[in-house]
Amino acid sequence: MDGVDVPLADLFLHATVELVSTSEGYARARSAPEAFLFRRLQTLPLTAGRFRLNARLPIQFDDRREMEVDLLDTVASLAIELDGPQHLNDPEAYRQDRRKDLLLQEHGYLVLRFLTDDVAKRLNHVLDSVTQALVGRMRPLQGTR
C-alpha cells in the first residue's frame, strides 16, 4: 500500500457515500474529499459549525462578481482550498489558484491549500494545520473583547 491507512480509507469511502443531500453543507460539496473534510471538521469541538462548503464571497474574480471558496470560516477569515490533480497538471489552473490566493489575502483571509489526496492519506496533518491556523486567527479576536 502507498502509505494509506486502510481503516481511514474505508471511513473516507463510507463517509462520502452517505452524504446527506438535505443538509446545505453536504449538498454544496463538489467532491468527495470536500464533503469528507467538511464532515470531519463538524465532529471537532474547535471547528464544528464554523465552516461553510463552497461559500461565496463578494470578491470579483475572473470576470465573475463573486469568488467561491471550498471551505470558509468567515469569523476567523480562514479559507481552505482542496486541490486535485487538475490543479497541478494545468499551468493555467495553477496560475488561477495563485491569483485567487492573492485576492483572498488582500481581503484579509488566510488561505490553506491541501491536496485532495492528503484528506485521505494525511488527514491528521490536515486537521492539525486547520486547528493551528484557527487558533492563531482567534487569538487577535479574543484580545479585542
Residue 109 lies in a domain: yes
Residue 1 placed within a domain: no
Q: Is residue 35 part of a domain?
A: yes
Mean pLDDT value across residues 55-71: 92
Q: Where is average pLDDT lowest: 38-42, 50-54, 84-88, 139-143?
A: 139-143
| Any domain includes 132 | yes
Structural domain span for residue 89: 6-143
Q: What is the pLDDT of residues 115-138, one digit of tens each?
A: 999 999 999 999 999 999 999 998
- Closest by CA to 41, choosing from 139, 114, 141, 109, is 114
Number of domains in the chain: 1
List, for residues 7-30, the tens digit of each pLDDT value: 655 555 555 444 433 344 445 567
Which of the four pLDDT bands, split at 50, 70 and 90, describes residue 89? confident
Q: How far apart are CA 136 and CA 124, in angstroms?
A: 18
Angle at 42 between CA 143 and CA 6, to 5 degrees: 125
> In this structure, is residue 106 part of a structural domain?
yes
- CATH number for the domain that contains residue 45: 3.40.960
Residue 90 located in a structural domain: yes
- 118-to-18, 89, 122, 132, 143 alpha-carbon distances in Å: 20, 17, 5, 17, 33
Q: What's this model's pTM, rounded to 2 decimal places? A: 0.78
